[in-house]
């Protein structure tokens, strides 16, 4: 129906900006828009997994795998609740839903992953310069 023209967010859905943001997005942008959002989330998870696989220490790898697990679980619970397969638990869709504490935790976790990636790249450059 176009951006901002959703009928469901005007009273039908209990929490249109947090729990049911995916259903509002699907109504406004269509199935293609919802698939693009889910695809981008899985691409982000895949890239974080690559950082974890190439990490030099086991701790850094486990941090990356924990962040992926957190994002995957939140995505799974939110999509499952929107589809009616799981109960509505109040879990936000990562980086999309309106939720302050969720956004802070996710950006901090992504910052940890970026720090691990930068440290691994720095160690790789230093090891090449020694040779």
DSSP result, 72-121: HHHHHHHHHHHHTSS----PPPTTTS--HHHHHHHHHHHHHHHHHHHHHH
Closest to 66 (Cα-Cα) out of 15, 4, 110, 19: 110
- Nearest 5 degrees, angle CA 127-CA 64-CA 131? 5
Q: What is the pLDDT of residues 67-91, one digit of tens each?
A: 999 999 999 999 998 888 999 888 8
* % pLDDT > 90, the chain: 55
Q: What is the pLDDT of residues 107-122, one digit of tens each?
A: 999 999 999 999 999 9
* Per-residue tokens: 65: 């795998």
Cα diameter, the chain: 65
Domain residue ranges of the chain, discontinuous segments joined by +: 8-130
Mean pLDDT computed over 55-78: 95
30: pLDDT confidence band, cut at 50, 70 and 90? confident
**How many whole angstroms separate alpha carbon 116 and alpha carbon 105?**
17
* Per-residue tokens: 25: 């997005």
Could you tell me if 32 and 88 are in contact, meaning their C-beta atoms sit under 8 angstroms apart? no
């Amino acid at each position: 129906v176009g951006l901002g023209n959703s009928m469901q967010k005007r009273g039908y859905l209990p929490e249109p900006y947090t729990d049911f943001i995916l259903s509002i997005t699907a109504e406004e942008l269509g199935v293609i828009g919802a698939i693009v959002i889910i695809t981008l989330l899985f691409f982000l998870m895949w890239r974080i997994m690559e950082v974890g696989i190439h990490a030099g220490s086991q701790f850094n790898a486990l941090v990356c795998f924990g962040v992926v697990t957190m994002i995957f679980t939140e995505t799974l619970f939110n999509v499952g609740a929107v589809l009616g397969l799981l109960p509505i638990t109040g879990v936000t869709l990562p980086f999309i839903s309106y939720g302050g504490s969720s956004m802070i935790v996710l950006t901090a976790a992504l910052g940890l992953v970026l720090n691990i990636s930068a440290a691994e790249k720095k160690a790789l450059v230093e090891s090449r310069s020694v040779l």
